[in-house]
Amino acid sequence: MEYRKLGNTGLEVSRLSFGASSLGGVFRPVVEEIAIQAVHTALDGGINFIDVSPYYGLTKAETLLGKALKGIRRERYILATKVGRITATDFDFSANRVIASVDESLKRLGVDYVDLIQCHDIEFGSLDQIVNETLPALQRLCQTGQARFIGITGLPICVFHKVLDQTQVDTILSYCHYTLQDTTLAGHLPYLETKGVGIINASPLGMGLLTDRPPPNWHPAAPAIRAACARAAVQCRKKGQSLSQLAIQFSATHPGIATTLVGTADPKEIEQDLCWMDQPLDLELLAEVQALLAPVRDQTWLSGRIENN
């Protein structure tokens, strides 16, 4: 496994990392024993960065991850969780709530501290509140030792600029913006690098767009995007390959991105993902797929408040 520096934190994270949203049953039902095995398989395979949130499965993911991490030496993993997002429509970035949220997460996870605490999907909140209330509250938690570093997450990339132009954070987590279909994040890396932040790339499969299965019904992508991704999947099958493999390999190759999150509660899928990291990217197939996706290149969807898009 290759390890990369996470901005100026001093942390070295695995190029491929574990997204624990799947432990919350976000995509399909979870069998606890198998999900715990998936976490252990990831760690044994060299993955050392784990990202979770109390929002995933409405605390189920954190609770299950805590069971999986029980008895594992703390130095074996770098742990990130989040604050602010409560349900699909409820958000609370107030100082009191985020401080209480961290306490609750630590108990569920069974740890004394998290390495990274992140404001979850900040486009749904007031960015003024994030800058002037939420982040200072999280900084106080770093002073007390409950967290080591602070990050922000969101879909619209512009929110990172709006926050970083006013204050400093250690990391940003961007999702669906460095994939086979959307590479928008790459154009913002020079700016982010000047701010010294570590880059975490999530959803290399576009929340299910870039797989051999149709995306979930709730997926916000336009029909044209769905159709183009379906054609890309067909082309990969014709060549005897998987669109998922091509997508994960592609997203994990950019040297400016510290780590790419993959989420699964299936140990066999984690083993497959790890195997793909050791295989060369099929450049001929990549060119064919990129040509199919060209009509919808970098197309995205709205998320959060209008003023934050």
What domains can be seen in the chain, in order of their start residue?
Answer: 3-207+246-280 (3.20.20.100)
Vertex 36 angle, CA 215 and 117, to 5° = 75
Q: What is the pLDDT of residue 27?
A: 76
Residue 25: pLDDT band with limits 50, 70, 90: confident
- Phi then psi dihedrals of residue 262, to 5 deg: -125, 140
Say whether pLDDT at 26 is over 80.
Answer: no
Residue 154: pLDDT band with limits 50, 70, 90: very high
pTM of the model: 0.96
Q: Could you tell me which of 218, 219, 188, 223 has the C-alpha nearest to residue 205?
A: 219
What is the share, in percent, of the chain residues with pLDDT greater than 90? 96
- What mean pLDDT comes out for the span 236-250? 96
CB 244 within 8 A of CB 212: yes
Catalytic residue among 55, 56, 175, 178: 56
Q: What is the pLDDT of residue 28?
A: 79
Q: What is the mean pLDDT of the chain?
A: 97
Q: Is residue 56 annotated as a catalytic residue, yes or no?
A: yes
Q: Could you tell me which of 207, 288, 227, 244 has the C-alpha nearest to residue 27?
A: 207
Say whether pLDDT at 116 is over 80.
Answer: yes
- What mean pLDDT comes out for the span 195-210? 97
- What mean pLDDT comes out for the span 222-236? 97
> 89: helix, coil or strand?
coil
Burial class (CB in 10 A: 0-12, 13-18, 19+), 75: exposed
- What mean pLDDT comes out for the span 102-130? 98
Q: What is the pLDDT of residue 256?
A: 96
- What mean pLDDT comes out for the span 294-309? 97
Q: What is the pLDDT of residue 217?
A: 87
Say whether pLDDT at 7 is over 80.
Answer: yes
> 153: helix, coil or strand?
strand
For residue range 42-100, what is the model confidence (pLDDT) as tens digits?
999 999 999 999 999 999 999 999 999 999 999 999 999 999 999 999 999 999 999 99
